[in-house]
Structure 1
Amino acid sequence: MEAYQPFLMSKLARRQDVRFIGAMPGRYTLSDRKISDPSEVEVYACRLCSISPQAAVVEAPVRAEPGETVAAYFDDFGIIRAKATRQLPTGFAMELLLDDNERAKLAAQIKWRKRQAVSREPDKREYPRIQPQEPCTLLTLPDGGHLPCFVIDISQSGAAVSAAVLPARGTPVAVGGLIGRVIRRLDVGFAVQFTEIHELKHLERLLAPPAKAMKEVG
């Protein structure tokens, strides 16, 4: 028997499905794509929105095409192989390519994750990082071009960003409406330091993509 067979679920099975719904950071690759531009990256950051032993939904900077192979990693669930099934406005849904044993293991991991109380050590940095409620926005480059990006986390002084490009250190950019410069590269993107310190209460609003830029992109 092949390790993976298309998983067809009845309505009853779907109601009994073990599902975790909650934000969880991760990373992914789209192995079917050939990278021709050296400024592009192959590993992107993402945020898991929901997962079951059969399917998952993520928010991501580069949307997988339906049928495209996805390899994702999440700390609590490990490496997950999948096929994208549909694109969403800020990410995509995918069907997990698991055998019966792998599905059972993932179901147990999901149950364990759902039982855990949320507990985090207080962030003692001067400007604590937070995960924005709406992590998908637009990155504005020095030439005025725009492209989708995913904000891994953000603080009053800067942000960690994942996109389909890796700007060089010192490059001026805007993340949504927040202006800054690239200060270093990360495993799944790059860090931007803002030109000024912003009030925490205004970050979500400033992070939203400018309406004019959205019209140009969309």
Structure 2
Amino acid sequence: MTEEDPAANARFAERRRFARVKVDLLGRFMLEDQSEYPCRVEDMSPGGVAVLTPVTPRQGERVVLYVDHVGRLEGTVQRLFDGGFASLVVATDRKREKLAAQLTWLANRHELDLPEDRRHARLQPKKQAVEIVLEDGRRYQVRIMDLSLSGAAVKSGVRPAIGERVTLGTMQGRIVRHLEEGFAIEFSKVQSLDTIEREFI
């Protein structure tokens, strides 16, 4: 019987933690020698990305990707296939959270009938100081650090329990993760861009 490779199993488990989203995005990538090439991304997750390109990098080579609607990603080439390569995404937990929110938007944009406009991928709130209301009615002022159609990351001196329901402005959601300076909220439903703009932008 072939012995299992614990490191390989760990990498596989890490990849399977993230749901893959089918996309069709244009971009470019840079190899270690600073050469750049155009590419197309066909599916991705917060942990990895499949890149279509006629250029063949080395397996294990570090790459920097610039993808429409997503932005800059760093990674390492994990696998080569006919017509492209698969790369692991090297990122902090906060960056992965942001990427997950962007992918949620990409997965739902057709349902929401939103135009494919790059400015919608990253929402910059002008109104950063907002009130949050906890389940028991307590109210706190928090500051929005990151915002998408599906959720927000806020800076706060309080840390409600993960899973607790909250209201951010007028939007209901739940706490899904604690961050270094606050917590991340997943909205109860993916918001329309009009709603986000009225509330925060």
Q: TM-score, normalised by structure 1?
A: 0.44
Q: TM-score, normalised by structure 2?
A: 0.47
- The answer to which structure, 1 or 2, has the higher relative contact order (CA under 8 A, 6+ apart) is 1
More helix by share: 2
